[in-house]
Amino acid sequence: MKWIAVAVLGLVGLFVVAAVVLLALGRRADAGRLVTSIEVNRPPAEVWLWITEPDKLKGWVTWLVEVRQLTDGPVRPGSRVEWVMQDANNGNRPMVITSETLAFEVGRRLELKLSAPGAFSGVATYALVDLGGGRTRLATDAHYRYDSAFARLMEPLITPAAAKKFDGDMARLKALAEAAPRAEHSAAEAHAQ
């Protein structure tokens, strides 16, 4: 009987140590931060379309099944969009993420406030740098805060998984943008004006 008590105390001790480690890791300076960049063999005006047009977003953002524009017209400060995701980590249940444009420079920079009530909130910035020769560097920097105490505890596991998914999404964006016909360039320039 004594060995059962020792085993139970040992398991409880392991859980406490794991929770303390997760809490400490969750307080690091870059907790909840996703940073990545890619080079796309297309000019910024074309890449811009891949981060702002609903049909193009659905092509490269995994789990994204619907994009609902809540405000009319082109991207501008205050414009709002809902992204409906099928969360593969949550039994494919739908998750609605509201995006509000905080700032932008057409073909150069897009800053979004993102929130999914009960899940997370944060700010994501997409910066496009013209590398010349029809090439663009797309850099993203996103900071998220998880709403539930359990998600905040698990942040050291959630953020790297989200970063891996996002890296795959960015690779998909690159492949799709580079495979698109060059004819889109003139449409992209017209859209950017």
Tens of pLDDT, residues 72-121: 887 788 999 999 999 777 788 889 999 999 999 999 999 999 999 988 99
Total count of domains within the chain: 2
Task: Quote the tokens at residue 145.
Answer: 């805060």
Residues 116 and 152 in one domain: yes
Give the C-alpha separation, 47 to 131, whole Å: 12
Altogether, the residues listed in the chain come to a count of 193
Residues 170 and 99 in one domain: yes
Residues 86 and 148 in one domain: yes
pTM of the model: 0.81
Residues 104 and 132 in one domain: yes
Give the C-alpha separation, 86 to 57, whole Å: 14
Residues 71 and 104 in one domain: yes
Residues pairing with 105 in the sheet? 109
Residues 47 and 132 in one domain: yes
Residues 7 and 73 in one domain: no
Residues 9 and 65 in one domain: no
Residues 46 and 79 in one domain: yes
Q: Residue 26: pLDDT above 70? A: no
Task: Quote the tokens at residue 70.
Answer: 């809540």
Q: Residue 173: pLDDT above 50? A: yes
Residues 59 and 140 in one domain: yes
Q: pLDDT tier at 128 (50, 70, 90 boundaries)?
A: very high
Residue 147 structural domain: 31-192
Residues 23 and 86 in one domain: no
Q: Lay out the sheet containing 135-146: strands in order across.
A: 33-40, 135-146, 120-132, 109-116, 93-105, 80-87, 64-69
pLDDT at 192: 47
Q: pLDDT tier at 156 (50, 70, 90 boundaries)?
A: confident
Give the phi and the psi of residue 106 in degrees, each rounded to 5.
-50, 130
